Amino acid sequence: MATNNEKSSRDNEPPIIDLTQTEAEIIPLIASACSKWGFFQIINHDVSPELVQRFKAESQNFFDLPRDIKLSLKRDGSNARGYFDDELTKQRRDWKEAIDVGVPGSRDWSLSDDDTMNACLDGYNRFPSSDVLPNYRATVVQYFEACQKLS
């Protein structure tokens, strides 16, 4: 893939935006990427490669769990956050699994996920217990905070 500083021989590659550029250079690149592609990749950001690797490993650990454990965290009509494997696109089932996580309603990750202060419009976070995946929640929270700071 070519970065936005390189001339790509193909016009069908998603944009890569280098954060070492000035804000004045980056803003129009993001606007263009969002309007043309709807997404972009950033490089030279402050999210550590070690944290990214831990997040990927913990995500893999989650999706490797037995189905019954994941289903115990399934989102429902009263809570849009959690595990799901039954999303539809154009009235057809997607063949994917996902887990939705968001900022707690309290904005305080130290509270229990099901604390009433953490309820918000789309529910509250559902994580596997530390008995099942000891490092999962902490890693997801760290990664989420790093990405939030980046944004």
Asked whether residue 56 carries a pLDDT value surpassing 90, the answer given is yes
DSSP run (H or E) holding 30: helix 23-36
Q: Report the distance separating Cα 47 and Cα 11, nearest Å.
A: 28
pLDDT tens, residue by residue, 11-46: 788 999 999 999 999 999 999 999 999 999 999 999
Q: In the chain, what percentage of residues exceed pLDDT 70?
A: 93
| Confidence tier at 10 by pLDDT (50, 70, 90) | very low
